[in-house]
A and B are shown apart, each in its own frame.
Chain A
């Protein structure tokens, strides 16, 4: 505290005016200084903390990929921040109905605790997730919301979804073989990294680009880039923990520049065994429980997991049963919907037909050797729907899409 000034006790008028004025003004230095120090701290501390890239032994890209493949982290808990910016038009509720249609669940009568409905929220915006895992049988994924949380808990044969905001519970079962991860859309950096590394072939350049600190751990940075031009994928950067080989951060930047399309990274991670109570779940009293009766086995063996095709599509993976044109990053999936104007999301019927006309107003009309069509663009995925009902989808630029359509004719 500042020393007692003599005018602590006096009323004005005892001292001559100019001196008093200056002394009064001088006191305001204190709040201004406090504010300045605070601003400097907020501005500088992250910059200072960021400066040191850790010193790690040299490693080749092949060794690093091997390291990721061999990574056998079974126990971890941590916080993941996921930011996706696909550049989709902000359709609010409509987008929800669209994605629910694309998820093959047209009827919206389900529970708000249904995992497939809930986790599609991750497709846009910034979210904070918590993950915990203890072996293949016990995993937990929580989506943090304002004063609420959505938890997806896999413990042995049970899969529980709990939405604390509405106090609703979803219950399903799986084989005790830990296939759960297959069913949910990718959420952790590891999920994304595995997807990206699957597509590594001779059309791809893979390099190690120095080191970085992620969630307080030293990590190598692996950069995956398409060699050909024409892809909307600019570069994929994966930060790999140097000790465990676990991907800690995944960033996909589009070739058009700007903010990352997908940015998933741990902000905090621990490889200790999470406490067993984390995975215990009993539905709270009075909660509405929705049982998922569909046998999990049948779903898994039906060729393609029903859940999460959208996210995979976003990553440029072709769907089974589609014709693929081109190779590597520039491959384009072709889907013949048979005459009618289909949907870029695979057209499962339901709301699709009604939305077709509306969607037409969102796309650009293009002409080529193939005829006339409409291109729908996001920052990553472009889709071309031709008049004769063919749908071309790929993580390629509009021109490349038209070229592929011409070639496919």
Chain B
């Protein structure tokens, strides 16, 4: 048992070092940067499209409330572009990016043969897995903030800013609006931890990074489709994507917390179930590559 004791004696700084090296590896990949670039481009595209469409004074979304949430408000207040961009990217772009990064986390290392070198270091599998999960969650946050910041800059450049009207019809100041936008970005990032845990679990099942990414994104699409079928409404509350758009409830006055707390609880449940499943799988896995 001497080796196990050696593991326990490792200083916590070592874990930070491991996390830092994981973060650097992840964020230096061209693939990651390309994903972030695509995410940053979405709000720019939406902003320019709305600007062109409303150039003649007509309202966005055809005035009938079509299109992504909040889109009819963008022309009056650029801050709404943040909400629209998050509402537009959350159903697909964001989780797909998370799926790619999470799916690659373990399977990618196994595929390139670097996983065993990581395990040679006295880190322990549990700790390595936690580090991987922390990295994926950091990516969730960074990806969401990239969308939000890109949307804020685009909105500020193309549209006026100022006091805004909540969807309940009350008015809040611009600074409170900014604070809510930040809170919404955090909630969106947290909404993604369920799919991140799922991706990590899938990643421990296979030695092929591509297979893990494809499975995660495939599951994501399947869940989104199931969520659209009214006959399956009994299972909807248990799908990780079901309460994603509840972040818009933060723009109500007073905030309507029911769906938000349900969303957070559901994400925690997914993280616990698939995180522990990933742990069960990874700590007992044969690492042959």
Q: List the interface of chain A (C-beta within 8 A of B).
A: 1-2, 4-9, 11-12, 20, 23-24, 27-28, 30-31, 34-35, 38, 79, 112, 128, 130, 142, 144, 146-149, 151, 153, 160, 162-168, 267, 277-278, 280-282, 284-288
Contacts and interface: CB of A to CB of B under 8 A. Distances in A.
Interface in B120-160: 122, 124-126, 160
Contacts of A35: 273
Given A149-B168, A149-B169, A166-B59, 13 more contacts: A8-B125, A27-B280, A28-B277, A112-B65, A146-B245, A147-B69, A151-B169, A164-B73, A166-B61, A277-B170, A285-B160, A287-B76, A288-B59
Contacts of B269: 34, 38
Given A168-B63, A284-B73, A286-B59, A12 B286 contact: yes
B202 to A, nearest CB: 14
B171 interface: yes
A38 B248 CA distance: 26
B170 A281 contact: yes
A11 B279 CA distance: 16
Given A9-B4, A147-B245, A280 B273 contact: no
B7 A165 contact: no
A24 B284 contact: yes
Nearest to B245: A147
B276 A30 contact: yes
Contact of A142 (B168, B279, B281): B168
Contact of B72 (A162, A167, A278, A282): A167
Given A9-B4, A280-B171, A163 B65 contact: yes
Contacts of A164: 73, 165-169
B8 A147 contact: no
A286 B122 CA distance: 62
A270 B125 CA distance: 51
29 contacts: A1-B126, A6-B3, A7-B284, A8-B7, A9-B124, A12-B286, A27-B284, A31-B272, A31-B274, A31-B277, A34-B272, A130-B168, A130-B256, A146-B69, A147-B69, A147-B70, A148-B69, A149-B252, A151-B168, A164-B73, A164-B169, A165-B65, A167-B59, A167-B72, A278-B170, A284-B73, A285-B160, A286-B59, A286-B76
B68 to A, nearest CB: 8
B170 to A, nearest CB: 6
A2 B127 CA distance: 12
Which interface residue of B65, B124, B273, B286 has the most chain A CB atoms within 10 A?
B65
Interface residues of B, number: 52
Contacts of B8: 4
Contacts of B160: 285
A203 to B, nearest CB: 39
B284 A282 contact: no
Nearest to B269: A38
A404 B280 CA distance: 72
Interface in B258-289: 258, 269, 272-274, 276-277, 279-281, 283-284, 286-287
Interface string B1-23: 10110011000000000000000
A282 B273 CA distance: 47
A280 B166 CA distance: 12
Interface in B11-61: 59, 61
Determine which residue in B73, B160, B166, B168 has the highest number of CB atoms from chain A within 10 A of its CB, and name it. Answer: B168
A407 B125 CA distance: 85
B75 interface: yes
Contacts of B273: 31, 34-35, 38
Contact of B64 (A28, A162, A166, A280): A166
Contacts of A287: 76
Contacts of A147: 69-70, 87, 167, 245, 248
A167 B169 contact: no
Nearest to B122: A9
A41 B252 CA distance: 29
A153 B273 CA distance: 45
A27 B279 contact: yes
A4 B284 contact: no
Contacts of B63: 166-168, 288
Q: Which 5 A-B pairs have the closest CB atoms?
A: A147-B69, A165-B65, A27-B280, A147-B248, A164-B167
B191 interface: no
B216 interface: no
B126 A11 contact: no
A6 B63 CA distance: 64
A6 B166 CA distance: 56
Contacts of B245: 146-147
A80 B167 CA distance: 18
Contacts of B69: 146-148
Interface string B242-256: 000100100011001
B65 A282 contact: no
Contacts of B73: 164, 167, 284
A99 B8 CA distance: 71
Contacts of B286: 11-12
A285 B77 contact: yes
A163 B125 CA distance: 53
Contacts of B59: 166-167, 286, 288
Which one of B65, B169, B245 has the highest number of Cβ atoms from chain A below 10 Å of its Cβ? B169
A281 B72 contact: no
A24 B277 CA distance: 11
B253 A148 contact: no
B67 to A, nearest CB: 10
A144 B7 contact: no
B64 A148 contact: no
Interface in B161-210: 162, 164-171
Contacts of A28: 277, 280
B226 to A, nearest CB: 18
Nearest to A30: B276
B82 to A, nearest CB: 13
A7 B284 CA distance: 7
A168 B75 CA distance: 14
Nearest to A168: B63
Contact of B7 (A9, A38, A153, A280): A9
